[in-house]
Each structure stands twice: as C-alpha cells, then as structure tokens.
A and B are shown apart, each in its own frame.
Chain A
Amino acid sequence: MRFKFLTLFAAALLLAACETGPDNQANTGGSGQSRTASQSTGGADDLTGGGSGAGSGSVSSQNMAGPEPGTQEHLVVNVGDRVFFGFDEYQLSSEAQATVEKLAAWLKQHPSKQVTIEGHADERGTREYNLALGAQRANAVRDYLIVMGIDPNRVETVSFGEERPAVPGSNEDAWAQNRRAVFVVQGTPSS
C-alpha cells in the first residue's frame, strides 16, 4: 500500500500549497438558514475545520428558486457531479482535483450528507478489467476527499466498470465522457 501513502502525501502537499481555498461558485440557490459556499476559507484550514464550512463571506439569500441545499441537484449546480479521466488512467487531473476540492467543501457545508462515488470506464477494455479500473477511479476521488478532511465514513465507492455509459456511441467523444467518476448524494437514485 506504499503507493497509496505517497498519493495521499502528494495530494496533501499540493493542498498545502494552495493560496486560496476551493474556488466555490457563488451560491445563489441557498435557502436562508443554509450556509453557502465560503470564498475565503483556506484549504489548509479546511483540513481541520471540522466540516462546518464556517468562514467569513457567507452569503445568505432569500432566493428560493434554486435547488434544495444538500440535494443532488444542488451538488450538480454548485460543484458539478463528475470528474473525467484519461484513457486507462485513474489519477486525478488538476481540473478533476479542483472539482473534488469543491465537492469536499460542499460536504463540509452539508455535514449530514454522505456521498457515493461511482467509478466508470469506457468500453475499450474487458469487463472485469473495467470493474477494477472503475474502482480505482472512484477510490482516487475518495482518497482525495479524505485528504481534504472528509470523514472516510461519509464516502462510499462503487464501480460500474463499463456497464453504465453516460454517453452512447463508440467514438472518442463518448469514451472521454464515459471515463468518469460521478458523485451521488446518498438517498439519490443512482445510475
């Protein structure tokens, strides 16, 4: 398991190097009693922040038009619900890391929520290999969430291998969108 430790260590270094915290989108959809995204909380603080998401710059809003906070739809609007991977790869790209950092912040804002990370593969591999690869991808996200201070008990993983492509077709564009990890707030019907 040495590789795992190194992965976590590298991720922690990267995190510590962050000048600013996760680049959360301004949350216009929160209800009045919900905390919304912090703009100023440093990433390093997040690690010890207890998941409360407290910080300056919270914006309360009375706008009720957006999705219910803590729901899957809320996650989709404010964080996005997926990251993508290179062919036959499970390492998080810098873009994917940024998304997972936003997911971590979201989970801290919604401490009662648990998330399932679904790992998926494109169809250019054998079925059993794709199950293993999907598991690696889901766990790459989970590992980084843990680095970001999320309680491991709040994050489950499941691999769907190649069984549930997001985009139909046998072409580069479909494959690129199918090599993914999807965040599903528990209690949401999964794929």
Chain B
Amino acid sequence: MTDSTRRRFLTGSLCAAGALAAGPAGFVREARAELEIDITRGYIEPLPIAITDFYGENRQTRSLGQDVAGVIRDNLRRSGLFKPIDQGAFIQSAEALRGGPRFQDWRLIDAQALVSGKAEQQADGRLRVQFRLWDVYAESQMIGKAYFTTPGNWRRVAHIISDAIYKRLTGEQGYFDTRIVYVSESGPQSRRTKRLAIMDQDGANHRYLTDGSNLVLTPRFSPTRQEITYVSYQGRSPRIYLFNLNTGQQEVLGEFPGMTFAPRFAPDGNSVIIALDNQGNSEIYVIDLRTRERRRLTNSSAIDISASFAPSGDRVVFNSNRGGSLQLYTMTADGSNVQRISFGDGRYSTPVWSPRGDMIAFTRQHQGTFYIGVMRPDGGGERMLAEGYRVEGPTWAPNGRVLCFFRRTRADSQGHYSSKLFTIDLTGYNEREVPTPQDASDPAWSPAIP
C-alpha cells in the first residue's frame, strides 16, 4: 500500500475508486468494491476486520486477552474506519490460530484484515502481550509486536496495539493511547459546579483532578510534559494555573495586573500564550515558564484573546474584534505581520492550530447557531464539521485527523440542559459522543503519550 493510497483510504470522501484500485494489497482491492457503493455520500465504508480474543494459557491471561481484544475492537470501531466482525461468525478458534491463520476461513466471513494475539504472565509477574496483524487476501503478516507491562496496565497496551494497527493500515499516526482532560459539570445553571477531570480517550480510567470548590475553565495539555494549564477562580479573579499530573501539584502561573485566561502551551512546552485583561482591555502575552517573564504580542484597544501557536512555533492564530466583529487573525510569534484569515458571515472564535500544521479549527456563530469548522492557515478551504445550539472549543487529536468538542443543549426555564463531549473526523463524518459520568465541556486532547 503506497502512502498516497493510505491517505485516500483515511480521507474516504475524497478518494476515487480508481485510485484505490492501484493499491497492491488484497484487502484494499476488496475495500474498493465497497467504497464504490458509498462514494456519492462522501462516506467511507469501514474496513471489515476480524479481531480475535487474545489467547491465554490460564483463566487470568485468557480474561486479559479478551479484555485487550475488546478495547482494540472498540477503538477501531469508534474511529469509523474499521468494522470489527462479530466474533460469533469466526470459524477458526483463537487456540487454532496459534498455528497460523487459515486465511480461507477468514475470507469466508469477509474479513479483509485479521488480528491475533496472546497474553501471558512472565515469571517476574509482568504481562507479555503480543499481537499480529494479517492481510487476509495477501496471506501475509503485516506487523507483529510484543509488549511487556504490569497486568494493571493492560488497557494501555490495548491502546498501543490499536495505534499500531491504525498506523499500519492508514499510514497515519494513531491517537488511541491518549487522554482527554475536560471540565465536568453538575448542578443548576446559575451555580454550576465545575471540576477538572481526566480520562483515557475512550472514557476509561476517569478521575477528577479538582474538588469543585473553585470554578475551573479551559484546561489544556502541555505538548511535552504531564502537565495542564487552566483557569481557576481561586482567589479574587480568574487566573491561570499549572497542574502537574504526576505530582498533583498546582501553582499559579504568576502575579499579573488583571485577569489572566485563555492559556495554551507553546509547542516546545516552555512557555504559555495567554490573554491578560487589564481594566477591560485584553491583550495576548507569552509567559516564559522558567523566568515567568511576559512578552506582549498584541496592542489594540479591542479584545485580543484565545491564541494558539502553530506547531512550528513561529506563528500564532488568535481571536480579535479589532475590525468591528469577532474574527480570526494570524501573526508571527513576535506579534508582527497580523493578517485576518476569517471572512465568512457571523462571528469566529477559539482558533486552534492543528498539530499537523495544515488546518485551524474554530468555533463559528451565525444566526443563532454554533458551528465547529476548519480552515487552512491562509483562511482558505473553510468547512463546517458540526453544529448545534452551542458547540464550542475544538481540540485536535495528536494526529490532526480527529477533533473533540463539546455540545450543549438549550436550557429550559429551570436551567436544565445537557453538555457532552463529541469527536468528529476532519472529513465531517463519524461524530460520536465520548461518555462522561456527568455533563462535560472544554475538552483538551493530550499529545501522543510519550
């Protein structure tokens, strides 16, 4: 499979059947036949994949092997690019698979790809998990790897294997071994309790980071460390804090004259770009995390907020109403060369540069509806991906192919509403809710966990 066919496979709606026919691997040829059916809908038919329970010698490893395979199935299904085949249809057993796949058995059930694996306990107590990905039609192994970890860490192994499968079949980096930090919401609209919470990207391993005694907003991950930055109403005015996820320690970013908000880390993790409001005038600053010195980037009497660095670190996109309405602007990282990039109807805000650098996601409001959209950094190629009474705050998966955002319903006269997290592909397809124990807002996707 060439890089170009991989990319076409992932972006589905853009691909032509003829281009996919060039793919050398058998399953791609088969996938082409199905893609032709849906191509007018601009939707990609998911690739049928058989993921067998990983084999285990004893009850414990057998159970772990089932759990690992279950997480892989869920990950790949949610990506929208794969259709895990019902295990009830499998002909060859997991035990028989140890001698190698009988490919005709898997072709019979229309599997294009096959995943087999094994879980075993090492003498030192560690868990060893191996997996193999097979091309059913080419009758060859595409990838095979083994991982060692503590048994309690089995979910992470399942995510790492999911990433490996995703990368091998799509050519894109996976995003399953990642986490999402967000604001958990509860209580009445007028006195909403908001807590920082963190979970795996699939909603597992959920835990709260703050107790709800202070209002918290807009957490964002460090690209380089197990650290987040967020806004908290601890004290008299909203201020930006840093939270070390390993130690649980929190510290205020610094003492500044006025309200600090809208933080995001620079790509190198060594500084934070923020908005500082001094007497009603918000400007964008960069705070060096070692010296805590601040450098001002904007200087206008208008609102300048919500800045986000390009992954290269040399440019910044931000939100301003300096032109009379709320729009997106880019500038070089020293504050020069400001250019407006949004020109559609309505108001634009919360720009976030893709980790790939090729797109900027944003929130747009027009005629009473909110949209999540993307555009190129030069403002071209604008597309709306999701809409609702209130959708806001897109955040990129580290591969730049999937976005997470929150969607809030209208509140009734008692102030009841729901707010939930969703993911959606860059193509605008495959919108899915991310389960959270309570209402949720302000998601931030972690970088790929190192």
Q: How large is the interface on A (under 10, 10 to 19, 20 to 34, 35 or more residues)?
A: 35 or more
Residue B417 CB within 8 A of the other chain: yes
Tell me if A127 and B190 are in contact (CB < 8 A): no
Of chain A, the residue at the smallest CB distance from B231 is A131
Whether A159 touches B277, Cβ cut-off 8 Å, given contacts A128-B218, A131-B261, is: yes
Residue A14 CB within 8 A of the other chain: no
Min CB gap B314→A, angstroms: 23
Whether A127 touches B189, Cβ cut-off 8 Å, given contacts A138-B280, A139-B279, is: no
Residue tally, chain B, CB below 8 Å to A? 48
Whether A132 touches B190, Cβ cut-off 8 Å, given contacts A126-B393, A156-B236, A168-B411, is: no
| Cβ < 8 Å to B, chain A residues 117-159 | 123-129, 131-133, 135-136, 138-140, 142-143, 156-159
Residues of A at under 8 Å CB distance from B? Answer: 1-4, 90, 116, 123-129, 131-133, 135-136, 138-140, 142-143, 156-159, 163-171, 174, 191
Residue B335 CB within 8 A of the other chain: no
Whether A128 touches B262, Cβ cut-off 8 Å, given contacts A123-B390, A163-B215, A170-B410, is: yes
Residues in B with CB closer than 8 Å to A164 are 190-191
Tell me if A132 and B414 are in contact (CB < 8 A): no
Min CB gap B275→A, angstroms: 7
Tell me if B217 and A168 are in contact (CB < 8 A): no
Tell me if B215 and A127 are in contact (CB < 8 A): no
Tell me if B365 and A124 are in contact (CB < 8 A): yes
Tell me if A169 and B413 are in contact (CB < 8 A): yes
Give the residue of A3, A158, A170 whose beta carbon is less than 8 angstroms from that of B259: A158
Residues in A with CB closer than 8 Å to B236 are 116, 156, 158
Residues in B with CB closer than 8 Å to A143 are 279-280
Min CB gap A40→B, angstroms: 33
Residue B227 CB within 8 A of the other chain: no
Tell me if A127 and B280 are in contact (CB < 8 A): no
Tell me if A128 and B415 are in contact (CB < 8 A): no
29 contacts between A and B (CB under 8 A): A2-B301, A3-B301, A4-B279, A123-B411, A124-B365, A125-B349, A126-B349, A127-B441, A127-B442, A128-B305, A128-B306, A128-B350, A129-B303, A129-B306, A131-B217, A131-B259, A131-B261, A132-B303, A133-B303, A135-B259, A142-B280, A158-B259, A159-B277, A166-B190, A167-B190, A168-B189, A168-B411, A168-B412, A169-B415
Tell me if B413 and A168 are in contact (CB < 8 A): yes
Secondary structure at the A interface, as helix, strand, loop or mixed, is mixed
- Assembly CA distance A126 to B393 (angstroms): 8
Min CB gap A19→B, angstroms: 30
Give the residue of B194, B282, B306, B414 whose beta carbon is less than 8 angstroms from that of A135: B282
- Assembly CA distance A3 to B301 (angstroms): 7
Tell me if A168 and B414 are in contact (CB < 8 A): yes
| Cβ < 8 Å to A, chain B residues 391-420 | 392-393, 410-415, 417
Residue B380 CB within 8 A of the other chain: no
Q: 1/0 per position for B291-314, CB-CB distance to A under 8 A?
A: 000000000010101100000000
Tell me if A128 and B190 are in contact (CB < 8 A): no
Residues in B with CB closer than 8 Å to A142 are 279-280
- Assembly CA distance A166 to B188 (angstroms): 11
Residues in B with CB closer than 8 Å to A90 are 280
Tell me if B363 and A136 are in contact (CB < 8 A): no
Of chain A, the residue at the smallest CB distance from B413 is A169
Whether A159 touches B259, Cβ cut-off 8 Å, given contacts A124-B365, A126-B392, A129-B326, is: yes
Q: Given A126-B392, A129-B303, A159-B259, 4 other A-B contacts at CB below 8 A? A: A158-B259, A165-B415, A167-B190, A170-B417
- Assembly CA distance A143 to B306 (angstroms): 25
- Assembly CA distance A143 to B390 (angstroms): 33
- Assembly CA distance A135 to B368 (angstroms): 23
Residues in A with CB closer than 8 Å to B26 are none
Residue B256 CB within 8 A of the other chain: no
Whether A127 touches B218, Cβ cut-off 8 Å, given contacts A168-B189, A169-B412, A170-B410, is: yes
Residues in B with CB closer than 8 Å to A165 are 189-190, 415
Residue B207 CB within 8 A of the other chain: no
Of chain A, the residue at the smallest CB distance from B191 is A164
Tell me if B261 and A170 are in contact (CB < 8 A): no
